[in-house]
Amino acid sequence: MRETRRICTNMDLNAKVALVTGAGRRIGRAIALKLASQGATVAVHYRTSHAEADAVVAEISATGRIAQSFRANLESVAEIEKLVAEVLATFGRIDVLVNSASIFNRTPLEEVTEHDWDSNLDTNLKAPFFLTKFAAVAMRQNGAGKIINIGDWAGIRPYKDYLPYSVSKSGLIGLTQALAKALAPEVQVNCIALGLVMPPENYSPDEVARLVRSTLTKKMGSPEDVARAVIFFCETDFATGTILPLEGGRLLT
């Protein structure tokens, strides 16, 4: 009997359009720059970091690639829908969506307010869902698409005193797997569960050192590590519904 093989046509990022949320700063910035370096046109989303987003656009443009900044409040579904529509009107397509925007606030159980709960769940969970819902329509029309959610190992092992945040990231893991089923086979949906990559700016050197000691690698990851993982998920058609821990082995300690 003759063997039948499935031929994968892995995504070439040249001439593709990537929308990266929270791309003006920190990890989102590194992801946007990496996607551009691989040939993608990049829609740089921001909410308040206008100057930083424009700086990312300028850095990408200086390399001869195309980028433009787009503002949206991701707590608003109407603004999310408008954002996706504006990117499509500007570039004609969306091939890659990276849900990188996130909020991370210390909220012990006794201090959690309704606003704390809503803002964490809206930005970290509801926004990735609706961004995917709207962007996936265009992806499926083109027959292919990649969605990468930037999660946190707190979605697997919750942080103490970050209850709404941890719940939102746990939900993002479930959302990734549910959307992978809903959008198969054309669109692949995956999640990177980050550990110590870029600690909050208000952490002291002693706090950072303690976190580094808690990893198996005894070192901190970098935004570039995350960006390379994003490129992997863009370039493979075989991974979907995958949760990739990128946390220095901290889940094993």
Tokens of 220: 């901190």
Question: How far is Cα 242 from Cα 181, in angstroms, rounded to an integer?
Answer: 11
The catalytic position among 159, 162, 165, 203 is 165
CB contact set of 24 (below 8 Å; sequence gap of 6+) = 44, 46, 49, 50, 51, 52, 53, 55, 56, 69
Distances 166 to 169, 237, 250 between C-alpha atoms, Å: 5, 29, 16
SS3 100: coil
> 127, exposed or middle or buried, with CB in 10 Å at 0-12, 13-18, 19+?
buried
Residue 55: other Cβ atoms inside 10 A:
16
SS3 185: coil
Q: Which of 61, 66, 65, 62 is nearest to 90 (CA)?
A: 66
Catalytic residue list contains 165: yes
The catalytic residues are 165
